[in-house]
Structure 1
Amino acid sequence: MSAGEDESLSPETQQAKINEVRKSLWPLSGKLAIYCSDGCIARYLRARNWNTKKATKMLKASLKWRSEYMPEEIRWDDVAAEAETGKIYRSAYKDKHGRPVLVMRPRCQNTKSIKGQIKYLVYCMENAILNLGEEQEQMVWLIDFHGFSLSNVSLKVTKETAHVLQNHYPERLGVAILYDAPKIFEPFWKMAKPFLEPKTANKVKFVYSDDPNTNKIMDELFDMGMVESAFSGKDGEDFDINKYATRMRKDDEKLPFVWRTHHSLISPPPVSTAANPTSSDSDPEALDMIEEKAVISSDEDKDTRYY
């Protein structure tokens, strides 16, 4: 949990708020029920400063998005064309806190399809979540700006990226390190920053290879012997799409098994807190929409996983 508002709430109060949000969502089944674990609901609550009404509204929007976009169904072969230059990839190492690391290399952008780029980003997010360390909920982004030009980025893609990450993957980013960002990036950053919530923007750290002070951030977070040379680490191996594809396909094979392992975690809210459909805290229209989309047969459940 993050410092500040979490520390001001007792564990009992936090659990009560989680139960209140769950009460407003029930009944759910299949993938959506699995998604709404206590940890998931807590992340939405933290993203909305533990305001249950705001967190519920945010989570309902995510459930609608997940039921339509089906991010857990994306597989490597669906996004391989976007991935072939290594513009985003999950490193084989984790940081010192056990968080998976997504490396991003803007200079390696290889398509102009906003839809395709977002789909690959979502796949990478889902894969990083699959590979979270024990007791970890967040990941690290390492952004390599070597060879960067403004033609490598799009404000539209950046806006859509911010929307998806902040609204559907709240509290998943631990820190984003922008490494050796050039002066020409500053105007773009000024335009892009307003798309970010202050809490997210505060997680962005600028690190420069010629600045010992900022490099301390890297030393504190990583075993530099495992980090790519682009970030002043000692790993000089180039990205190999064939090796990476093999890794991702192996991860894809884990998804059904991971879901089955955690299937027993699905449980209804306590009977004493059963949802009241006439409650002013509920949004009947939105809840009806979620219930309709949440009815998933046991045959479809075979391909789901715990989130």
Structure 2
Amino acid sequence: MVLMRTVYPTIAVPLPLPLSNLPVRTNFAVRCANVHSQTQLDSRKLVLAVKEKLEKEHHNLPVGRNGRDDEDMILWFLKDRKFSIDDAIYKLTKAIKWRRDFEVSKLTEEVVKDALQTGKGYVHDLLDINGRPVVVVVGSKHIPQALDPADDERLCVFLIEKALSKLPTGKEQILTIVDLRGFSTENADLKFLTFLFDVFYYYYPKRLAQVLFVDAPFVFKPIWQLVKPLLKSYASLVRFCSAETVRKEYFTDKTLPPSFRD
């Protein structure tokens, strides 16, 4: 008897390619680039559509920086209104008219010097730990009867504009700190507080990262209960915290505002 040996065919098993050589990764990167390019193209079309509509329907509005043809401003309001052309135009025209009537471009330190000298508000020289410009409001130095309310409003807008001018590349929002240490009933100003949030909502949308109410005394609580419903979604930006929290979570020893140093 002759025994036959079964011979099995040899199967070549390919060695796995390095992950960096996989075509899937390259295709994914290309797809991402394409999506990004398409998004930019779509945004550009929407900006031009808003710009054209503003020129036709609101030709009397000013042009130039922060005007009806300012494409950066148009894009910002489109983002705020979730790229709805009609909603963006409505809010944008309101903001441009307000800037013109309020004469925002004419606000200087000389114009607001009386309010600025009170020390009730200033822009901190340094950025916070997240690289954001900081506006500091000192509640105990705000005496509503001491100045014309219009002066306080002009100071408010001047400080916002100054803080926005300090935005580093890639940053879009600012931090506001309301120092309530020593705050009393004579400092209460419901109208001004409402103005502050209205300005951010209508004219500087999504520029406010957070508002810190620092060491709020008991007398401030009723004021907050009155204001909170008026703020709607902006109320979620408010954080009540201590001066110690400001020191530890928002600044380093070198960047801390002087009034919060031990």
Which residue, 101, 112, 123 being the options, matches 1:90? Answer: 123
Decide whether the 8 Å contact of 1:162 with 1:195 is kept in 2. Answer: no
- Residue of structure 2 equivalent to 1:79: 112
| TM-score, normalised by the number of residues in structure 1 | 0.64
Q: Which runs of 5+ in 2 are unaligned?
A: 1-35
Distance 1:161 1:151 in 2: 19
- Residue of structure 2 equivalent to 1:155: 190
Q: Aligned AA for 2:159?
A: C
Distance 2:136 2:114 in 1: 17
Distance 1:123 1:229 in 2: 21
Shift of 1:51: 2.1
Q: Aligned AA for 1:106?
A: G
Distance 2:123 2:243 in 1: 22
**Structure whose alpha-carbon radius of gyration is higher:** 2
- Residue of structure 2 equivalent to 1:203: 237
Stretch of structure 1 that moved more, 152-161 or 75-84: 152-161
Counterparts of 1:108-123 in structure 2, within 5 Å, are: 108-110=141-143, 111-123=146-158
Which residue, 186, 194, 211 being the options, matches 2:229? Answer: 194
- Residue of structure 2 equivalent to 1:33: 64
Shift of 1:14: 3.2
**Distance 1:76-1:148 versus aligned 2 partners, 3 A rule:** same
Q: Which runs of 5+ in 1 are unaligned?
A: 1-6, 235-307
Decide whether the 8 Å contact of 1:98 with 1:134 is kept in 2. Answer: no
- Residue of structure 2 equivalent to 1:240: none
Shift of 1:63: 1.3
- Residue of structure 2 equivalent to 1:272: none
Distance 1:77 1:201 in 2: 33
Distance 1:24 1:224 in 2: 50
Q: Structure 1 segments of 4 or more deviating over 4 A?
A: 27-31
- Residue of structure 2 equivalent to 1:14: 43
Distance 2:47 2:217 in 1: 43
Counterparts of 1:250-289 in structure 2, within 5 Å, are: none
Which residue, 140, 150, 159 being the options, matches 1:107? Answer: 140
**Distance 1:137-1:30 versus aligned 2 partners, 3 A rule:** farther
Shift of 1:98: 2.5
Shift of 1:112: 4.1
Distance 1:32 1:22 in 2: 11
Instruction: Kindly report the root-mean-square deviation, in angstroms, between the aligned alpha carbons of the 2 structures.
Output: 2.6
Decide whether the 8 Å contact of 2:181 with 2:215 is kept in 1. Answer: yes
Tell me: higher relative CO, structure 1 or 2? Use CA pairs within 8 A at least 6 residues apart: 1
Decide whether the 8 Å contact of 2:135 with 2:177 is kept in 1. Answer: yes
Q: Aligned AA for 1:73?
A: K
In the TM superposition, what whole-angstrom CA distance separates every residue of 1:173-220 from its partner, at most 9, and x where no partner exists?
11111111122212111111122130x22221111246xxxx2x7544
- Residue of structure 2 equivalent to 1:285: none
SS at match of 1:26: helix
**Distance 1:60-1:83 versus aligned 2 partners, 3 A rule:** same
Decide whether the 8 Å contact of 2:136 with 2:178 is kept in 1. Answer: yes
Match status 1:143 vs 2:155: no
**Distance 1:43-1:196 versus aligned 2 partners, 3 A rule:** farther
Match status 1:184 vs 2:219: yes
Distance 1:203 1:16 in 2: 32
Distance 1:224 1:45 in 2: 39
Q: Aligned AA for 1:23?
A: E
Decide whether the 8 Å contact of 1:44 with 1:171 is kept in 2. Answer: no
| TM-score, normalised by the number of residues in structure 2 | 0.74
Distance 1:76 1:225 in 2: 26
Distance 2:168 2:78 in 1: 22
